[in-house]
Structure 1
Amino acid sequence: MDLRFRNRHGGVRPISFPTQPPAMNLLSCIHDTAPIIEAKDSDLGDLFPPGFLDLYEVHSYRNAARILAHACPAEFAEITARLMAFRIRTEDIVAAGGNKSQIAKSMEQMLNPLGWNETRIRGDLFITKMIVTHEEKRRIAGKNRGQTVTEQRQHDEIYKVQGFIDGHKIDFVKGRVAFDLEWNSKDQTFDRDLYAARTFYECGIVSAGVLLTRSAELAPLFTEVARRVEMKNFQNKYGSSTTWMKKLLYRLDAGRGGGCPILALGIRPAVVSDFDDWKARHPVIRHAVSLDIDGHDDEDEMG
């Protein structure tokens, strides 16, 4: 803002006013220098077996990795050992969808015999309403005869909220560890999984949860698959609205897991065991194919 002021001698000089109030400048400085609070663990140390990080992207929230390693060592060792041996075939990626993918079935076949089972909890909420009444009475005997005293009485009323906790299901639970696999679902499924994990945790049933999904590092591999298969909707099948690690992390960063420690694992290309052989047997039939997992899936073109 620029105004002009005429003085008593006839001279004119401009008057300038600050465009931003000083308070706003102060707030900007505070916001820029404020320390960041986050639940993500920066150092995982040597908690995982050698080679594990080559197979899986790892993100630990609220000390999940340390809690699992030290409070639930048997379950943690079992799950990491099984994941080290877990492999995916390229044909499983290409296979048409259904109620349950072959990848999910393979995980069940691997974990169910060890006692990792689908678990659901339900519970009713009982509420005690405590009502306190006060009643004035006059003493008719004793040392304080004739004085008025106030007596306090309490009676309770019990109410029940049926099904207060209901429908919360986790794919695999053993001991105090919850484990969920989301290979290819709509990304909103992560909200359901995190809500279930935090409910199990808040009810004291588990100490931590593990969520396994796809790492973004699989995107180039999926693009190569899309160039070599007849499935025109392959990009949509594994598009940006499905369960990629990025969609899970922003939910965890926003605190949607509540206080439950969560270990997020992302499947890396090394888990796909036969991709080079499969690629050699399947020549390119499409060009200009790309898979943008950030929200801009390009349409493929026949070449």
Structure 2
Amino acid sequence: MALDLIPDHLREKYEVHEWKHACAILATDFPAEWNDLLALLDDFRLCQSWITSGGGNKSRVADAIDRFLVARGWREKKFDTAVTVDGVQKDSPTHKVDCFKNRVALEVEWNNKDPFFDRDLNNFRLLFDLRAISVGVIITRCDHLQTIFNRLGRGSSYGMSTTHMSKLLPRIEGGSGAGCPILVIGISERVYAEDC
């Protein structure tokens, strides 16, 4: 099983799913990026203060993940894409990928509206079909974190129409990522920390 490529202690801390051999592709063809992802998962803590403080344009969770990966050479990336039919070129715009390195695209969906998953999966599909990426990775939150949010008085800020695992999995299982290998990582209560 390809998920066995993820060390046991990390599989115990996160909810992990893959499609189309994403782990094997990452570990074999992109070992540096794979090691970056494993190091990120090993290092990451979900700080209570990130939940209790108000939001903004970018969540503290996404910012922490971005900073960790940027220090390892990952960058936000916009792709300029177009389709040519019978000599007529039409732009085929994509949205920026949160973190990109060497054909691996990573999106962090912490507390956005759930249609952001459709945008991400469509982007992965298009970029994979155009041979611009080889694997897509999405980091989101596990459903059971709602209990912690409720206990901290922030439950209404993390509603059912926001991005979380049970909103993502049916989309992927229904084929929204098409042929793109996808790795999904769910942030769980096992990485929650009150003192960071």
Give the TM-score category using the shorter length.
Answer: over 0.9
**Distance in 2 between residues matched to 1:101 and 1:108, nearest whole Å:** 11
> Does residue 90 in structure 1 map to residue 12 in structure 2?
no
Q: What residue is the counterpart of 1:78 in the other structure? A: 36
Q: What residue is the counterpart of 2:144 in the other structure? A: 217
> Does residue 160 in structure 1 map to residue 118 in structure 2?
no
Q: Higher relative contact order at CA 8 Å, sep ≥6: structure 1 or structure 2?
A: 2
In the superposition, the TM-score normalised over structure 1's length comes to: 0.62
> Does residue 100 in structure 1 map to residue 29 in structure 2?
no
**Distance in 2 between residues matched to 1:197 and 1:124, nearest whole Å:** 15
Q: 1:253 to 1:97 in 2, by over 3 A?
A: same
| Pairing of 1:180-199 with structure 2 (within 5 A) | 180-199=107-126
> Does residue 120 in structure 1 map to residue 75 in structure 2?
no
Q: Give the structure with the higher percent helix.
A: 2
Q: What residue is the counterpart of 2:23 in the other structure? A: 65
Percent identity, please.
38
> Does residue 253 in structure 1 map to residue 173 in structure 2?
yes
Q: Give the structure with the higher percent strand.
A: 1
**Distance in 1 between residues matched to 2:20 and 2:4, nearest whole Å:** 17
Structure 1 segments of 4 or more deviating over 3 A? none
**Distance in 2 between residues matched to 1:86 and 1:97, nearest whole Å:** 19
Q: Secondary structure at the match of 1:266?
A: strand
Given residue 205 of structure 1, which amino acid in structure 2 is its aligned partner?
A
Instruction: Work out the number of aligned pairs and report it.
Output: 196
In the superposition, the TM-score normalised over structure 2's length comes to: 0.93
Query: How much does 1:45 deviate?
Result: 4.9
Choose which of 186, 189, 194 in structure 2 pairs with 1:266: 186
Q: Secondary structure at the match of 1:257?
A: coil
**Structure 1 residue runs without a partner (length 5+):** 1-42, 129-157, 227-233, 279-303
User: Which string of whole-angstrom CA distances, capped at 9 and with x for unpartnered residues, describes residues 272-294 of structure 1?
Assistant: 122xx69xxxxxxxxxxxxxxxx
Bigger Rg, which one: 1
> Does residue 173 in structure 1 map to residue 173 in structure 2?
no
